[in-house]
C-alpha cells in the first residue's frame, strides 16, 4: 500500500533535521557569495561552496516534497468537487511519485557525515581461497557496478589485477554521484560466499572471503597534509590493460604513509605521472577513512560491539547452495534471493544500515 508524505510528517522532519536553521544558513551563505570580495579568499570560498552544496542536498528535496504535498492536496480537492473518477489515475500516479521521493529524502537525510556527499573508491581484495576467492571478488565487483548503473551513477574500473586462473587479485572502482560515499560506506568489511565451487572437482560446498574497502574521494576543499619525510614512494612494473608498454616500464606507483603504515598504489595508467597522482589521491582517501574508522570503533565500544572495520570483520553472508539467502550480520536483514543482490540489489541493506546508525546516534542530523 502506498502513501504520501503528510503535512504532519513533513513538519516532523523539518524539526528533526533542523531544516529551519539550515534554510537560514543557506540564505546567509547566498548573501556572502554575492559579495564583491567572495572570491578574494579561494580556500574560504571553496569551504562555503561545499557547505552550501551539503545544505541544498537536504533542503531542495524537502522543498520539492512540500510542493508535491500541496499539489496533491489541491488535486484531491478538485476530485472531491468533481465527484467523478476523472482524477483517480492522476492522483494514484502523484501518490506513487511522492511516496518514492519521500522515501529517497528520508534515506538522504541520514547522510550527515562530512564526506558523505563525496564520490568514492571501492577496492576489493580476495581472502584465503585461491581461485575461488578471486572469482568471488570479481562477482562483488560486478555487483557494485550493477548497483551504480541502476542508480545512474558513473562507475569506472581504475585499477585491476587479474587472478592467476580466474577473477581478480585486486580491483578498484571509482564511483561518481551525489552522496555515493554516504550510501556505500557501510559496504566496508568482509563478505562471505558459500557455494559449490565451479573450479573444484568434488561436489562440496566451499566458503570464500573477500574484503571491500570504501573510501571518499577527497576534493580540493578538504586539506590533507602529507609531509615528504613521512612518505615512501616505490615504482614497479605492472601488467594489465596497458599491455606490453606497462610490462616494459616502471609505470606503477605505490605510496606508503610511514606513521600509519597505510599504503595505496595505482597501476592502471600508462603514464607514471598519472599513476603517481592517483596513488596519492587514494592514499589521502584511505587516511580520511582511517579517521572515520576510529570514530566508528568508539561507537562500537559504547554499544559493546565489535568494531565493524578491518579485514577480520565479517558483515554479510551470501549463500547460493543448497539454500539460497543473503544476510547482513549487523542489521539482521535477510533476503531469500541472493542472485538479485549480486545483480546490484543492495538498497535493502544500505537502507537498514543507515537507519541502524541513525538509531545508535552514529549519524549526525543531515
Interstrand relation of 189-196 and 314-319 (parallel, antiparallel or unpaired): parallel
Task: Report which of residues 307 and 116 the model is more confident about.
Answer: 116
Q: List Cβ neighbours of 226 (8 Å cut-off, separation of 6 or more).
A: 257, 280, 283, 284
User: Which of 160-164, 183-187, 214-218 has maximum average pLDDT?
Assistant: 183-187
Please report the pLDDT score of residue 141 as a whole number: 97
**pLDDT reading at 361 higher than 80:** no
Overall pTM > 0.75: no
What pLDDT, in 10s, does the model give residues 316-325?
A: 999 998 899 9
Question: Is residue 238 classed as helix, strand or coil in its secondary structure?
Answer: coil
- For the record, the C-alpha cell of 90 comes out as 492522476
Q: Residue 150: which region, alpha, beta or left (left: phi > 0; alpha: psi -120 to 50)?
A: alpha
Torsion of the alpha carbons at 37, 43, 49 and 53, rounded to the nearest 10 = -170
Please report the pLDDT score of residue 11 as a whole number: 53
Please report the pLDDT score of residue 16 as a whole number: 47
**pLDDT reading at 139 higher than 90:** yes
Q: Is it true that 7-108 and 120-217+308-359 share their CATH fold?
A: no
What pLDDT, in 10s, does the model give residues 58-105?
A: 788 888 888 988 888 888 888 888 877 888 888 899 898 888 888 778
Contact 173, 157 (CB under 8 A): yes
**DSSP code per residue over 135-146:** HHHHHHHHHHHH
CA atoms within 13 A on the CB side of 245: 9
Binning pLDDT at 50, 70 and 90, where does residue 181 land?
A: very high
Whether the ω angle into residue 322 lies within 30 degrees of 0, i.e. cis, is yes
**pLDDT reading at 365 higher than 80:** no
Mean pLDDT of 100-122: 81
Task: Report which of residues 136 and 158 the model is more confident about.
Answer: 136
What pLDDT, in 10s, does the model give residues 295-316?
A: 666 545 544 444 443 345 689 9
Please report the pLDDT score of residue 61 as a whole number: 84
State whether CATH 1.20.58.410 applies to domain 7-108. Answer: yes
**pLDDT reading at 33 higher than 50:** yes
Q: 120-217+308-359 is classed in which CATH architecture?
A: 2-Layer Sandwich (3.30)
Please report the pLDDT score of residue 62 as a whole number: 86
Please report the pLDDT score of residue 336 as a whole number: 95
pLDDT mean across residues, the chain:
81
So where are the chain's domains?
7-108, 120-217+308-359
Binning pLDDT at 50, 70 and 90, where does residue 190 land?
A: very high
- For the record, the C-alpha cell of 295 comes out as 570514530
Q: Rg of the Cα trace of the chain?
A: 24
Amino acid at each position: 500500500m502506498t502513501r504520501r508524505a503528510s503535512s504532519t510528517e513533513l513538519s516532523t522532519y523539518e524539526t528533526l533535521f533542523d531544516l529551519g536553521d539550515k534554510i537560514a544558513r543557506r540564505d546567509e551563505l547566498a548573501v556572502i557569495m554575492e559579495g564583491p570580495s567572495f572570491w578574494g579568499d579561494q580556500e574560504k570560498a571553496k569551504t562555503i561552496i561545499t557547505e552550501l552544496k551539503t545544505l541544498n542536498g537536504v533542503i531542495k528535496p524537502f522543498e520539492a516534497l512540500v510542493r508535491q504535498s500541496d499539489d496533491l492536496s489541491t488535486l484531491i480537492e478538485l476530485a472531491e468537487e468533481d465527484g467523478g473518477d476523472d482524477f483517480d489515475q492522476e492522483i494514484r500516479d502523484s501518490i506513487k511519485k511522492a511516496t518514492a521521493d519521500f522515501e529517497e529524502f528520508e534515506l538522504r537525510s541520514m547522510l550527515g557525515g562530512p564526506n558523505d556527499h563525496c564520490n568514492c573508491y571501492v577496492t576489493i581484495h580476495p581472502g584465503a581461497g585461491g581461485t575461488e576467492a578471486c572469482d568471488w571478488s570479481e562477482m562483488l565487483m560486478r555487483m557494485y557496478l550493477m548497483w551504480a548503473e541502476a542508480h545512474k551513477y558513473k562507475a569506472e574500473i581504475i585499477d585491476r589485477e587479474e587472478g592467476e586462473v580466474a577473477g581478480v587479485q585486486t580491483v578498484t572502482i571509482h564511483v561518481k554521484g551525489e552522496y555515493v560515499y554516504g550510501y556505500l560506506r557501510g559496504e566496508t568489511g568482509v563478505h562471505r560466499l558459500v557455494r559449490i565451487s565451479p573450479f573444484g572437482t568434488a561436489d562440496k560446498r566451499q566458503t570464500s572471503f573477500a574484503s571491500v574497502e570504501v573510501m571518499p574521494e577527497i576534493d580540493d576543499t578538504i586539506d590533507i597534509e602529507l609531509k615528504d619525510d613521512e612518505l615512501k614512494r616505490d615504482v614497479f612494473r605492472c601488467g594489465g590493460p596497458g599491455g606490453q608498454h606497462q610490462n616494459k616500464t616502471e609505470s606503477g606507483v605505490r605510496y606508503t604513509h610511514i606513521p600509519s603504515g597505510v599504503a595505496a598504489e595505482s597501476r592502471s595508467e600508462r603514464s607514471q605521472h598519472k599513476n603517481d597522482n592517483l596513488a596519492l589521491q587514494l592514499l589521502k582517501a584511505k587516511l580520511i577513512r582511517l579517521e572515520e574508522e576510529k570514530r566508528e570503533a568508539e561507537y562500537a565500544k559504547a554499544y559493546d560491539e565489535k568494531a565493524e572495520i578491518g579485514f577480520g570483520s565479517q558483515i554479510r553472508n551470501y549463500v547460493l547452495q543448497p539454500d539460497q539467502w543473503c544476510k547482513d550480520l549487523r542489521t539482521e536483514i535477510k533476503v531469500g534471493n541472493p542472485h538479485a543482490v549480486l545483480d546490484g540489489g543492495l538498497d535493502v541493506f544500505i537502507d537498514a544500515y543507515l537507519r541502524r546508525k541513525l538509531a545508535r546516534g552514529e549519524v549526525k542530523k543531515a
